[in-house]
């Protein structure tokens, strides 16, 4: 998930720090930069694909380095910063809001690391004032999922810092409560700042490691970006570290599935522990023998096999990622044709893809007496159709507008004028009309339609079939009769041809 | 109130007043106007009752279309008593059932006595209905909404209704019977008046009557306004919003060559426009509803219809839709187009020239969905290729074989009900993957047996089955015998180029050893499945019978065989086949080295040349042993013994041009006296009687079996 480093470059950051036993003079911003470098180093080691942006703020804000994976560009930019005027935290966060929504929209979860020194400004530009009178420009909560971390380059003993901490906590609460306030332990020096940033990195920038299981085939993987917990009303779920493949589905059948989030599935190198295990995978042993373990590219990885097979066969692997929580593994290719294994996480629940039906009811194809995919793969058991058709697929009668009534009457009349050929259709439409009128308690319509049919009868041309007049009169009389006020009764055509009986 | 409102009860007042006119006329005879001399029939009016029923059915239609399983609606008709038309079960949540029930209820009549008719009966039933648990309500708070369509005479009467519902809830919650207590109920009273009339009742916003009851009063004119009111209510309660699909090209009925553009309004969950409402930067996207719903609608432009389109990566949401005006021509045109399997991209209107496709309409299994598509930059852009990662450079993955496994583990929906005690289908699927992957090397160079499936078929596919019948067992055995035959014919194994090339002279034999070991591992991993699986393993192990059954005599037996070629070495070195068998026999004795060495050293002082030979071979064993586990040494050992068992018939092995000289030993004895030391002579002499049964009992069966397979 993208990370924004939001650094306070106000004048107060240039205050010197007293560090005993050194001759060099350190300012708070120097410590801050040290700390940021610690964080950047951690990110480089653990999640190379992280996008990071460097922003600075004082009473104004500026994006110094746009989102990049090139950590060095951020490091070098940090050495070239100027000093500006006073602190305005809200303005800085406003900048974050603009930059993030422009770049990533409102779906990508972001982490914001705000580095400041405990001074929160005074008067109408102070943080306290902003929190108290949250006007329309107040940036929190961010419209995108986010964690806000506030790192304070100042000792807890400083009065300004202790006064600011409640305000910082309030900011995090206002943003939904995710993230934390970090203050150096003990006195303010390089070590304590580095520890502070290491803590932050350990807690919030650790990679998500999991084991991908396909029966007895297992592979240690890292998911990038780390999947977020799911929270919706009372439901709270976390992605399990055990990803279990349940079976496979053709891409055509899974159709266009909606995903909460998507994650690269990157194989992790086997650790020393795995290799010392007696039943460790065979390839590890071979490599030990041949003393080739240095070349990790030559260690076979199940993810590569799975990716290749999914790609070749146009399938996805349905994967359980938690209790009643599912996802799919598939081969994803970006526009440069570089493909990789991807995990899409679905909305939690057994009916996350309604067209696959209940997840619990998916069985292996070999379990069916009739092959569900046909003898030579020429059919599919998907999509699962709901028992009830939706109104738009069910020819339902809605007469809220006059045009609805008119259309249904016109349909019936059209058939009435082609009697006796369209006799079957005529009665079908007639009964549909009648049933709807009875359901809606719209009996006035029945009388009027009867009148209409009688009039049609009088307008019949002389050349018309004698049956036409008979059927129209029969239908008109039936509509008026009490017997056909019963919805279960259908008006049936008048029998005019007795030749078969005689 | 809104989001977690899963149970709704609609109460329809059927008192005589509803027989009166809604004062909204319906022109229905518009098709005869064109004909000269024809006077159109007078327009008709709907009663208040008809308008209530239509509005209620429209409400149900929308909810059933959008939330077929998660939101439930019941309908109650109230006159002198209450008629509850349906229950909470899925089978009764559809409008056809409701329409049929309503069809059996005659419309109210002005002549009916008005005295006993009251909506109170309906409200009582509604409260009771909320106390019934729905199928998947377990553990959820029991919240519900009652929507009452009535016509009140005064504000006081409305207060009576509120009080009545409050009392009914209190009463129900007190009685500790099987009924579910109501945690919260929201009561909406809609007072309806004929179109154009002034209402004596005022609308009133939501009021908390008590912790368990909130209520609001709405006033609506009858006719179409009534339905609009209920749609607005549905939008509010179920968090819906509108999308107008603009610029749908449609062929004109009269003029098929030209097409006009139409707009269609759709209802769906608001979440489909979450992005838009959150960022809200696009001007001109929000337009007023054209269906007079007094709501705003997000307008999206029709573009790019596609057939058989699948978007695997971009979809962030999928929500069911239903058209506002379901049976208008443009709506039906759109829905039929989508139901036929096509997908339509929807584009956000933008002032700048860039095209922003943000949604897609398509159908799955007869239901139409609006899919939301990711429109912003993805954090997964410019990701590395899998070939740049761990294991990415390896090219001999068993991808085709894994494809077969995927096909076997392809999922299909179980549509029939589960029997009592039957495992969940998905657990069966998990079990199947587990079974099929017990022994599954992922690269070609790691395996021999999976490279020679044509020789082993159908054993590998059969053995992983849950049950094996007698025929299957026979097939498996046949496969084993076939490989036995291969080995006895010294056919080379299809070994992957990079694997298993350690010893030079013993290459093929070590390959066979590895193959047998792999095969045993494969079969052994299924041995606990059934007795028949065990039979297959037994068949495989049978090869080791001589060794396992009588380890002591086995050793002497091999020693015996070893002696023989050792003797022949000097004699038959020109015949290549004999040489091969010789090599083989030598190695067989290696396997027995410990037994052999002890025996030879303690029992009888061995002649120096053979001992030397053993020692050199020992060295090579140790070399390989260093890289092998005890298990593999053991299995190799067993396999070697095994291989011994399939030795060719001596006559065929040693003969030249299929001819074998009988009674050679007479000649041999003669030679031995000349060339070798006396103790060998005595050894051969002693053991000679034992060779015969060995050859007779153990070498023969494979040959005969081999014949049978042929």
pLDDT band at A157 (very low <50, low <70, confident <90, very high): confident
Q: Phi, psi (5° rounding) for residue B22?
A: -80, -10
Chain B partners of A438 at a C-beta cutoff of 8 Å?
Answer: 103
DSSP letter, residue A56: E
Please report the residues numbered 495 through 554 in chain B whose beta carbons come closer than 8 angstroms to any beta carbon of chain A: none
Query: Which pair of tokens denotes residue A201?
Result: 């990195």
Choosing from A321, A348, A367, the residue where a domain stops is A367
Q: Which two tokens stand for residue B397?
A: 């993955």
Nearest-by-Cβ selection for A332 from B227, B274, B313: B313
Other C-beta atoms lying within 10 Å of the C-beta of residue B125: 21
Determine whether the interchain pair A407/B327 forms a contact, defined as Cβ–Cβ distance below 8 Å: yes
Q: Which residues contact B22 (CB under 8 A, 6 or more apart)?
A: B45, B46, B47, B48, B50, B51, B194, B195, B222, B223
Are A326 and A320 spatial neighbours (Cβ–Cβ below 8 Å)?
A: yes
**Model pLDDT, residue B39:** 74
Residue A458 lies in a domain: yes
- The verdict on A20 and A126 lying in the same domain is yes
Residue A372 domain flag:
no
Find the residue in B nearest to A97 (Cα): B279
Q: Tell me if A180 is assigned to some domain.
A: yes
- Put simply, the answer to whether A390 touches B367 (Cβ < 8 Å) is yes
Whether A184 and A155 have beta carbons less than 8 Å apart is answered as yes
Question: The whole model's pTM is what?
Answer: 0.80
Touching check for B603 and chain A: CB below 8 Å?
Answer: no
State whether A82 and A194 are in the same domain.
yes
pLDDT, position A483: 82
What CATH number has the domain bearing residue A305? 2.40.290.10
Residue A51 lies in a domain: yes
Average pLDDT by consecutive 10-residue portion of chain B (710 residues)?
Answer: 71 92 84 64 90 95 92 92 91 92 90 81 92 80 92 90 93 79 92 89 90 93 92 93 91 71 93 80 75 84 86 89 92 92 88 81 93 85 83 86 90 88 89 88 81 76 79 80 78 62 57 78 81 79 51 37 38 43 47 40 39 39 49 74 65 67 68 48 43 40 40
What range does the domain containing A356 cover?
208-271+298-367
CA distances from A8 to A38, A85, A273 (A): 17, 10, 44
Supply the angle between the helices B576-591 and B593-602 in degrees, to the nearest 10: 80
A329 contact partners, CB below 8 Å, separation of at least 6: A212, A245, A265, A306, A310, A316, A317, A319, A341, A342, A343
Cis ω on the peptide bond leading into residue A200 (within 30° of 0)? no
Residue A315 confidence (pLDDT): 92
HSE of A501, CA atoms in CB hemisphere, 13 A: 4
Q: Which residue blocks in B67-135 are alpha helix, DSSP H?
A: 95-103, 120-131
Q: Which residue in B26, B386, B434 is closest to A402 by CB distance?
A: B26
Q: Please tell me which residue of chain A has the smallest CA distance to B60.
A: A391
pLDDT of residue B644: 65
pLDDT of residue B116: 78
Q: How far is B249 from chain A (nearest CA, A)?
A: 19
Specify if A166 maps to a domain.
yes
Given A215, A256, A436, which is nearest B362 (Cβ)? A256
Q: A456 vs B615, which has greater pLDDT? A: A456
* Residue A98 and residue A221 in one domain: no
d(CA A383, CA A355): 5
- Same domain assignment for residues A169 and A254: no
Specify whether the CB–CB gap between B300 and B246 falls below 8 A: yes
pLDDT (0 to 100) of residue B162: 93
pLDDT band at A41 (very low <50, low <70, confident <90, very high): very high
Nearest CA in chain B to A370: B412
Asked whether residue A258 is domain-assigned, the answer is: yes
The B residues from 382 to 421 touching A (CB cutoff 8 Å) are 382-387, 389-394, 397-400, 402-403, 406-415
- Residue A394 in any domain: the answer is no
Backbone angles phi, psi at B81, to 5 degrees: -145, -175
**Which residues 331-350 of B have a C-beta within 8 angstroms of A?**
331-332, 335, 339, 343
DSSP result, A364-414: EGGGSSS-TTTTTT----PSPPPSSPPGGGTT----SSHHHHHHHHHHHHH
Same domain, A236 and A354: yes
Contact B53 A255 (CB under 8 A): no
Chain A interface mutation, best of B67, B140, B364, highest count of A Cβ atoms under 10 Å = B364
CATH number of the domain where residue A11 is located: 3.40.50.410
A394: chain B residues, CB-CB within 8 Å: 96
A199 lies in the same domain as A213? no
Give the number of A-B residue pairs with CB atoms closer than 8 Å: 415
pLDDT computed for residue A466 by the predictor: 87
The enclosing H or E element of A201 equals helix A190-204
Q: What are the C-alpha distances in Å from A496 to residues A134, A262, A466, A483, B409?
A: 83, 68, 10, 21, 61
Q: What is the pLDDT of residue B553?
A: 37
Q: Residue B43 and residue B22: Cα distance in Å, rounded? A: 13
Chain B residues 102-161 with a CB less than 8 Å from chain A? 102-108
Residues A187 and A217 in one domain: no
Chain B residues with beta carbon closer than 8 angstroms to that of A439 = 53, 57, 99-100, 102-103
Q: Which of A145, A177, A204 is the last residue of a domain?
A: A204
Tell me, what's the pLDDT at B556? 37
A450 close to A479: Cβ distance less than 8 angstroms? yes
Residues A119 and A185 in one domain: yes
Q: Answer yes or no: do A216 and B107 touch at CB < 8 A.
A: no
The verdict on A262 and A242 lying in the same domain is yes
Predicted confidence at residue B651, as pLDDT, reads: 65
Asked if residue A332 and residue A317 are part of one domain, the reply reads yes
Whether A199 and A77 map to the same domain: the answer is yes
ipTM: 0.88
3-class DSSP state of B699: helix
Based on the structure, what is the number of domains in chain A? 3
Give the pLDDT confidence score for residue B33 in this predicted structure: 54
Query: With 50 as the cut, is the pLDDT of residue A284 above it?
Result: no
**Strands (DSSP E) along B238-326, which ranges?**
240-251, 259-269, 286-288, 296-307, 315-320, 322-323
- Taking an 8 Å cut-off on Cβ atoms, the answer to whether B365 and A355 are in contact is yes
Cβ of A104 within 8 Å of Cβ of B377? The answer is: yes
Res A5 pLDDT > 80: yes
Contacts of A321 in chain B (CB under 8 A): none
Would you state the pLDDT for residue B147? 95
Contacting residues of B for A269, CB less than 8 Å apart: 390
Distance CA B394, CA B443 (A): 8
Alpha helices, DSSP H, located in B132-283:
155-174, 224-237, 274-279
A176 and A101 within one domain? yes
Is the residue at A293 inside a domain? no
């Amino acid at each position: 998930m993208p990370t924004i480093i939001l650094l306070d470059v106000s004048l107060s950051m240039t205050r010197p720090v007293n560090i005993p036993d050194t001759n060099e003079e350190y300012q708070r911003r120097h410590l801050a930069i040290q700390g940021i470098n610690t964080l950047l180093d951690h990110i480089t080691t653990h999640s190379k694909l992280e996008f990071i942006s460097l922003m600075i703020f004082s009473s104004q804000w500026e994006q110094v380095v746009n989102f990049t994976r090139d950590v060095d560009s951020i490091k070098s930019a940090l050495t070239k910063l100027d000093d500006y005027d006073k602190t305005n935290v809200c303005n800085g966060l406003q900048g974050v809001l603009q930059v993030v929504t422009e770049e990533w929209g409102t779906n990508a979860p972001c982490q914001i690391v705000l580095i400041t020194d405990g001074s929160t400004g005074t008067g109408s530009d102070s943080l306290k004032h902003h929190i108290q009178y949250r006007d329309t420009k107040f940036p929190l909560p961010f419209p995108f999922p986010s964690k806000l971390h506030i790192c304070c380059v100042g000792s807890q003993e400083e009065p300004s810092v202790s006064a600011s901490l409640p305000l910082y906590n309030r900011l995090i609460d206002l943003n939904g409560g995710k993230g934390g306030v970090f203050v150096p332990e003990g006195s303010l020096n390089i070590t304590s700042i580095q520890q502070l940033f290491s803590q932050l990195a350990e807690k919030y920038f650790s990679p998500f490691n999991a084991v991908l299981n396909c029966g007895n085939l297992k592979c240690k993987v890292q998911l990038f970006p780390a999947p977020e917990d799911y929270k919706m009303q009372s439901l709270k779920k976390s992605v399990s570290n055990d990803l279990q493949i349940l079976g496979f589905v053709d891409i055509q059948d899974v159709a266009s599935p909606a995903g909460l989030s998507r994650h690269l599935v990157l194989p992790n190198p086997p650790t020393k522990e795995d290799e010392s295990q007696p039943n460790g995978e065979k390839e590890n042993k071979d490599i030990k023998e041949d003393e080739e373990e240095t070349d990790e590219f030559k260690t076979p990885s199940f993810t590569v096999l799975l990716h290749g097979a999914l790609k070749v066969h146009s399938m996805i692997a349905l994967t359980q990622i938690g209790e009643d929580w599912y996802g799919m593994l598939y081969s994803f290719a970006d526009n440069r044709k570089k493909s990789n294994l991807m995990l899409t996480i679905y909305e939690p629940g057994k009916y996350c893809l309604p067209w696959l039906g209940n997840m619990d009811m998916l069985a292996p194809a070999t379990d069916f007496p009739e092959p569900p995919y046909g003898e030579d793969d020429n059919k599919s058991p998907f999509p699962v159709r709901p028992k009830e058709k939706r109104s738009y697929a069910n020819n339902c009668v809605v007469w809220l507008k006059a045009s609805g009534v008119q259309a249904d009457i016109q349909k019936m009349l059209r058939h009435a004028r082609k009697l006796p050929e369209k006799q079957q259709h005529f009665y079908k439409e007639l009964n549909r009309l009648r049933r709807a009128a009875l359901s809606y308690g719209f009996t006035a319509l029945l009388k009027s339609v009867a009148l209409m049919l009688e009039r049609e009868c009088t307008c019949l041309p002389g050349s018309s079939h004698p049956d036409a007049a008979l059927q129209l009169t029969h239908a008109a009389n039936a509509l008026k009769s009490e017997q056909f006020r019963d919805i279960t009764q259908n008006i049936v055509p008048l029998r005019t041809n007795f030749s078969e009986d005689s | 109130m809104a989001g977690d409102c899963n149970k709704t009860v609609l109460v329809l007042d059927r008192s005589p007043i509803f027989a009166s006119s809604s004062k909204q006329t319906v022109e229905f005879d518009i098709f005869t106007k064109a004909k000269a001399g024809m006077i159109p029939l007078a327009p008709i009016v709907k009663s208040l009752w008809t308008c209530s029923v239509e509005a209620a059915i429209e409400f149900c239609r929308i909810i059933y279309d959008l939330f077929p399983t998660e939101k439930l609606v019941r309908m109650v008709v109230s006159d002198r008593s209450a008629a509850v038309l349906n229950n909470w079960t899925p089978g009764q949540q559809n409008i056809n059932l409701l329409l049929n029930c309503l069809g059996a209820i005659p419309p109210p009549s002005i002549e009916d006595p008005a005295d006993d008719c009251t909506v109170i009966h309906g409200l009582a039933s509604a409260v009771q209905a909320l106390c019934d648990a729905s199928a998947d309500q377990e553990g959820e708070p029991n919240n519900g909404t009652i929507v009452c369509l009535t016509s009140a005479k005064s504000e006081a009467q409305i207060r009576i209704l509120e009080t009545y519902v409050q009392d009914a809830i209190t009463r129900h919650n007190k009685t500790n019977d099987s009924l579910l207590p109501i945690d919260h109920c929201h009561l909406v009273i809609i007072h309806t008046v004929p179109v154009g009339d002034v209402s004596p009742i005022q609308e009133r916003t939501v009021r908390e009557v008590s912790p368990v009851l909130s209520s609001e009063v709405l006033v609506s004119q009858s006719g179409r306004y009534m339905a609009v009111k209920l749609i607005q209510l549905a939008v509010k309660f179920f968090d819906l919003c509108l999308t107008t699909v603009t610029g749908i090209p449609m062929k004109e009925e009269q003029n098929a060559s030209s097409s006009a553009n139409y707009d269609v309004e759709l209802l769906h969950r608001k979440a489909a426009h979450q992005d838009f409402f959150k960022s809200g930067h696009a001007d001109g996207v929000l337009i007023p509803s054209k269906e007079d719903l007094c709501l705003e609608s997000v307008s999206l432009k029709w573009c790019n219809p596609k057939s058989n389109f699948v978007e695997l990566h971009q979809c962030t949401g999928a929500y069911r839709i239903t058209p506002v005006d379901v049976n208008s021509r443009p709506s039906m045109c759109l829905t039929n187009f989508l139901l036929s399997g096509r997908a339509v991209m929807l584009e956000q209107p933008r002032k700048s020239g860039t095209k922003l496709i943000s949604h897609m309409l398509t159908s799955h299994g007869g239901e139409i969905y609006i899919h939301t598509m990711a429109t912003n930059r993805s954090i997964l852009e410019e990701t590395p290729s899998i070939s740049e990662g761990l294991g990415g450079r390896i090219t001999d993955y068993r991808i085709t074989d894994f494809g077969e496994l995927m096909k076997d583990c392809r999922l299909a929906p179980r549509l029939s009900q589960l029997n009592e005690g039957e495992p969940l289908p998905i657990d069966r699927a998990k079990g199947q993957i587990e079974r099929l992957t017990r022994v599954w090397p992922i690269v070609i160079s790691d395996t021999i047996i999976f490279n020679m499936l044509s020789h082993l078929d159908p054993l590998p596919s059969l053995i992983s089955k849950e049950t094996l019948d007698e025929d299957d067992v026979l097939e498996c055995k046949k496969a084993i015998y076939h490989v036995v035959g291969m080995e006895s014919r010294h056919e080379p194994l299809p070994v992957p180029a990079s694997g298993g090339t350690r010893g030079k002279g013993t290459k093929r034999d070590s390959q066979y050893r590895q193959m047998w070991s792999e095969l045993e591992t494969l079969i052994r991993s299924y041995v606990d499945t059934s007795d028949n699986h065990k039979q297959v393993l037994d068949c495989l192990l049978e090869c080791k019978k001589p060794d396992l059954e009588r380890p002591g005599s086995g050793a002497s037996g091999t020693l015996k065989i070893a002696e023989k070629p050792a003797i022949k070495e000097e004699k038959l070195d020109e015949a290549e086949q004999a040489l091969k068998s010789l090599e083989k026999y030598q190695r067989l004795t290696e396997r027995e080295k410990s037994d052999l060495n002890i025996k030879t050293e303690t029992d009888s002082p061995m002649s120096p040349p053979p001992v030397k030979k053993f020692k050199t071979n020992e060295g090579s064993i140790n070399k390989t042993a260093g890289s092998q586990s005890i298990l593999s040494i053991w299995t190799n050992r067993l396999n070697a013994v095994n291989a011994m068992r399939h030795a060719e018939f001596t006559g065929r092995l040693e003969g030249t041009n299929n001819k074998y000289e009988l009674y050679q030993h007479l000649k041999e004895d003669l030679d031995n006296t000349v060339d070798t030391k006396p103790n060998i002579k005595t050894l051969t002499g002693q053991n000679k009687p034992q060779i015969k049964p060995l050859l007779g009992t153990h070498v023969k069966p494979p040959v005969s079996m081999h014949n049978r397979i042929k």
